[in-house]
Amino acid sequence: MALRSLPALVAGVLAFGLMAGTALADQTRIGVVVKIGGIPWFNAMEAGIKEQGAALGVDAFMIGPTSADPALQVRAVEDLIAQGVDVIGVVPNDAEVLEPVLERARAQGIKVITHESPNQRNVDWNFELASVEGFGDAYGKLMADLMGGTGKYAVFVGSLTVPLHNAWADAAIAYLKANNPEMELVGERYGVAENVDDSRRTALDLMRAHPDLKGFLAFGSQGPIGAARAVEERRKAGEVVVLGPFSPGQGQKLIHDGVLSGGFMWNPKEAGKVFVTLGDMLVKGEEIKAGTEVPGLGTINPEAGSKNIIVDQLVELNKDTIDGLAEMGL
Amino acid sequence: MPDTTPAAGPRFALPRLGSTERALAVVIALLCLFLALTTDTFFTLVNLLDLLNISAVNVIFAVGLLVVLIAGGIDISFAVAASVVQYLTALALQQIGGGGWISGVLIAGGIGFLLGAFNAALIYHFRIISIVVTIATFNLFFGALMFFTQGVSIYNLPSWWTSRVVLFEMETASGWAELTLPVVVMLAVVFATWLLIRRLTIGRQLYAMGDNPEGARRVGINIGAMHYLAFGWLGITAGIAGLMQAHYAQEVVPNALYGRELDVLAAVVLGGARLGGGRGTILGAILGVALVTITQNGLNLLGVSPYAFKMIVGAVILIAITLSNSGVGDLVTAMKNSARRGAARKADSGVSR
């Protein structure tokens, strides 16, 4: 039964798809495939996509696979090609797995934009809202400001093998070495920042081993939270600076209690808007080159021959911004 | 062979230290001595109380797991089960409008028991070996947790749950020394587990079943009930450990305890519990947790490069296991015995002369 009715069903769906396709043919269609659906980060991105789509009068929508599986992303991109969209945006789970299907999309004249995937092949553009140096420098600078340019600090990363965290840590440490030689790093770096318990334990130990420790810089989602809990327990709020990127909803209370000093992140909602803005510009045939002003990115400066647009549009996490970001569910 | 069967020895005498416990105690004592000499922060009240505060949750897990190991089973799922308990407890407390410590412990322990009983039911009624069942339930529990929560954490827990309870505090030269609630809960769980496996007949039956299931069945021990007891007990302790972890972390994060099962399992086995069942002591489990915690603490205090941490922790575990197997503990006893025998012989010869 089910099998016999399948062809009819497929035909129906196809007919519907074609009808829908022709009905909307005059409007630019932008589909963005993200890593996974239903999590706050990409919910915020979806809000940005919808908002900018409405503002520019284009049909922009997001597709969130049920799990962070590269194969599901490939299938989602194939679906978008079949639908005949004008622009495909992707936040890749796996850059290489997507290469062939993105090539196919471009062969059909579809513009392809990626995010958080530097040097992605078969794209028109990839954009980043934070550069490794920019992100590390911003943390180094804020750390120096809050510590008064002197004193001991420790660095946590998610794990000693997470490339991005370690690259950020390298940049921040290099910045502090160059600009604030009075500041002293204790104990290289600790790979505990993906676990709130390990971060707390290590922070407690380090504050004891170095009673004059004045700061923690933690790259990894749980690191700033764990270190802040330790500072709270040691009753050193205000004496020890804790910085790092964290989920605003999670750190909201700690920020207001003054045990978590702050940090930077980039706003996924802005990234969603940029997908639509860039896509619209590409479809309209506007030239994108060094010096072009793109709303949401600022004046861009891609290297010659490179398809990476890297800017530093960082959002500071502090007492003033945290409530707004937390409200977005981030 | 070291004599660690609990039935041996006079019933109300202090339990004799097994060779594993002795070896561990020797290693820990040496480690502490070394750290006390090389750092000026290890042997402070603040640090010692911190070690207690930090290891409380792991010890609660460890004594629960010990009961299952003694009964001849193994459980991989208890840490993620504790995460499930955290979530369900948070939801249940929301339903009843806040609750308090008593309702919290009852709910967490109750849900934990049910999850443990689920493992027991699969193992006993379907006769599947425990490692297979609990690897499956590990994935089931964690997968269901991620599916239903979509990875979303809970930050707004009832305030009684997250406000810190300090039972003893003292300002010292090196900062505030505190003893917090998890330590007291740990002591209570350890005491209850000690009562169960050392003082109650059903506890003795657990050892018997772990040692020789067929023999235990023939002497009339209810094997099914023993399964529910062992896995249910681990479930309860895991639930309470989850409650405590959320208490000090002040939030419920779905993957916060993921991976903890192997740390705890390693510590308990290090403490002399046999993976085949029938052997294991509470003291050993506690010493196993202590060794790992003290090593990590010492590495931070010494300022050793974090890149070397895993290597050193692994080496310390290997040394401790090698020592307990080669019978350093026995060696000490043997030396004492031979000294005693020597003295006795001398006395004998004195008399005969």
Residue A171 is assigned to a structural domain of this protein: yes
C-alpha distances (whole Å) from B97 to each of B80, B94, B149, B243, B247 are 26, 5, 21, 17, 18
B248 touches chain A (CB under 8 A): yes
pLDDT tens digits along A34-76: 988 777 788 889 999 999 999 999 999 999 887 778 899 999 9
Residue B199 is assigned to a structural domain of this protein: yes
Going through A145-278 in order, the beta strands assigned E by DSSP cover 151-157, 183-190, 213-219, 241-243, 263-265
Cβ neighbours of residue B301 closer than 8 Å, sequence gap 6 or more: A205, A208, A209, B35, B39, B41, B42, B47
The pLDDT value given to residue A10: 54
Instruction: Mean pLDDT check: name the lowest of A137-151, A175-189, A292-306, B292-306.
Output: A292-306
A232 and A152 both lie in a single domain: yes
**Residue-wise DSSP of B85-123:** HHHHHHHHHHHTTS--HHHHHHHHHHHHHHHHHHHHHHH
Residue A322 is assigned to a structural domain of this protein: no
Give one word for A187, left, alpha or beta, with left for phi > 0 and alpha for psi -120 to 50: left
Residue at a domain's end among A265, A280, A303: A265
Residue A135 distance to chain B (closest CA, Å): 24
Count the domains in chain B.
Answer: 1
Beta strand B166-172 with A183-190 is unpaired
- The single residue listed with the structure tokens 């006395």 is B347
- The single residue listed with the structure tokens 């023999």 is B215
Token pair, residue B130, equals 């425990």
What CATH number did the domain enclosing A258 receive?
A: 3.40.50.2300
A106 and A25 both lie in a single domain: yes
Mean pLDDT of A13-26: 51
Give the residue from A150, A210, A153, A156 showing the smallest Cα distance to A181.
A150
Token pair, residue B66, equals 């010990």
Interface of A with B (CB under 8 A): 38-40, 160, 186-191, 195-197, 200-202, 204-209, 211, 222, 225, 229, 233-235, 247, 249-250, 252-253
Please, are residues B285 and B268 in contact by the beta-carbon 8 Å criterion?
yes
A137 and A122 both lie in a single domain: no
Token pair, residue A326, equals 């937390």
- Which residues of chain B have a CB within 8 Å of the CB of A186? 303
Question: For the purposes of burial, counting CB atoms within 10 Å of the CB of A290, is it exposed (0-12), middle (13-18) or buried (19 or more)?
Answer: exposed
CB contact under 8 A, A191 and B306: yes
Residue A15, SS3? helix
Residue B170 is assigned to a structural domain of this protein: yes
User: Which residues are bridge partners to A114 per DSSP?
Assistant: A90, A126
- Which residues of chain A have a CB within 8 Å of the CB of B256? 195-197, 222
Its domain, for residue A191, covers 132-265
A78 and A166 both lie in a single domain: no
Residue A92 distance to chain B (closest CA, Å): 19
Mean pLDDT of B302-323: 86
Question: For the purposes of burial, counting CB atoms within 10 Å of the CB of A322, is it exposed (0-12), middle (13-18) or buried (19 or more)?
Answer: buried
CB contact under 8 A, A195 and B256: yes
Token pair, residue B77, equals 């799922």
| B348 confidence band (pLDDT: 50, 70, 90) | low
Q: Whole-angstrom Cα distance, residue B62 to residue B152?
A: 28
B94 touches chain A (CB under 8 A): no
A31 and A126 both lie in a single domain: yes
pLDDT at B170 > cutoff 80: yes
Its domain, for residue B244, covers 45-282
A260 and A301 both lie in a single domain: no
The pLDDT value given to residue B2: 45
Suggest the residue from B148, B244, B296, B300 to mutate for an interface test with chain A (most A CBs closer than 10 A).
B300
Beta strand A87-90 with A111-115 is parallel
Going through chain B in order, the beta strands assigned E by DSSP cover 166-172, 175-180
Q: Whole-angstrom Cα distance, residue B45 to residue A302?
A: 57
- The single residue listed with the structure tokens 């007291």 is B184
The pLDDT value given to residue A183: 93
A27 and A116 both lie in a single domain: yes
Residue B148 is assigned to a structural domain of this protein: yes
User: Which residues are bridge partners to B176 per DSSP?
Assistant: B171
Residues in chain B: 353
C-alpha distances (whole Å) from B17 to each of A307, B21, B298 are 68, 6, 26
CB contact under 8 A, A186 and B303: yes
Residue B179 is assigned to a structural domain of this protein: yes
**Residue-wise DSSP of A77-106:** HHHHHHHT-SEEEE--S-HHHHHHHHHHHH
Residue A78 is assigned to a structural domain of this protein: yes
Sign of CA dihedral B326, B329, B333, B335: positive
Count the domains in chain A.
Answer: 2
Residue B249 distance to chain A (closest CA, Å): 7
Mean pLDDT of B170-191: 90
Mean pLDDT of B131-159: 89
CB contact under 8 A, A222 and B305: no
Q: How many CB pairs under 8 A join A and B?
A: 78
B21 touches chain A (CB under 8 A): no
pLDDT tens digits along A66-116: 777 889 999 999 999 999 999 999 998 888 899 999 999 999 999 999 998
Token pair, residue A296, equals 């949401």
Q: Whole-angstrom Cα distance, residue B185 to residue B99?
A: 18
User: Which residues are bridge partners to A155 per DSSP?
Assistant: A189, A217
Q: Whole-angstrom Cα distance, residue B211 to residue B207?
A: 6
Residue A330 is assigned to a structural domain of this protein: no
- Which residues of chain B have a CB within 8 Å of the CB of A222? 253, 256
- Which residues of chain B have a CB within 8 Å of the CB of A35? none
A272 and A123 both lie in a single domain: yes
Which DSSP symbol is given to A243?
E
Residue A249 distance to chain B (closest CA, Å): 8
Residue B24 is assigned to a structural domain of this protein: no
Residue B339 is assigned to a structural domain of this protein: no
Q: What pTM value is reported for the model?
A: 0.77
A237 and A145 both lie in a single domain: yes
Residue B106 distance to chain A (closest CA, Å): 24
Nearest Cα residue in chain A from B175: A234
The pLDDT value given to residue B7: 46
CB contact under 8 A, B307 and A160: yes
pLDDT at B206 > cutoff 60: yes
| B14 confidence band (pLDDT: 50, 70, 90) | very low
Residue at a domain's end among A265, A294, A324: A265
A122 and A154 both lie in a single domain: no
- Which residues of chain A have a CB within 8 Å of the CB of B44? 208
Tally of helices (H runs) and strands (E runs) in chain B: 14, 2
Residue B153, SS3? coil
| B9 confidence band (pLDDT: 50, 70, 90) | very low
Question: Please, what is the average pLDDT of chain B?
Answer: 86
C-alpha distances (whole Å) from A257 to each of A81, A185, A206, A264 are 50, 26, 22, 18
Distance of CA B143 to the CA centre of its chain: 25
Residue B140 is assigned to a structural domain of this protein: yes
Token pair, residue A41, equals 């980060």
User: Which residues are bridge partners to A262 per DSSP?
Assistant: A243
CB contact under 8 A, B155 and A249: yes
B258 touches chain A (CB under 8 A): no
pLDDT at B11 > cutoff 60: no
Residue B99 is assigned to a structural domain of this protein: yes
pLDDT tens digits along A142-154: 999 999 989 999 9
CB contact under 8 A, A205 and B297: yes
Residue B282 distance to chain A (closest CA, Å): 24
Going through B40-185 in order, the beta strands assigned E by DSSP cover 166-172, 175-180
Tally of helices (H runs) and strands (E runs) in chain A: 11, 14
Nearest Cα residue in chain A from B258: A195
B51 touches chain A (CB under 8 A): no
H/E run at residue A197:
helix A196-209
Distance of CA A54 to the CA centre of its chain: 23
- The single residue listed with the structure tokens 């740390």 is B263
User: Helices B181-194 and B45-70: crossing angle, nearest 10°?
Assistant: 30
CB contact under 8 A, A197 and B150: no
C-alpha distances (whole Å) from A207 to each of A195, A215, A230, A241, B34 are 18, 9, 9, 12, 20
Question: Which value does ipTM take for this structure?
Answer: 0.73
Residue A235 is assigned to a structural domain of this protein: yes
Q: Whole-angstrom Cα distance, residue B138 to residue B197?
A: 26
CB contact under 8 A, A39 and B150: yes
**Backbone torsions φ then ψ of A38, nearest 5 degrees:** 80, 0
A271 and A235 both lie in a single domain: no
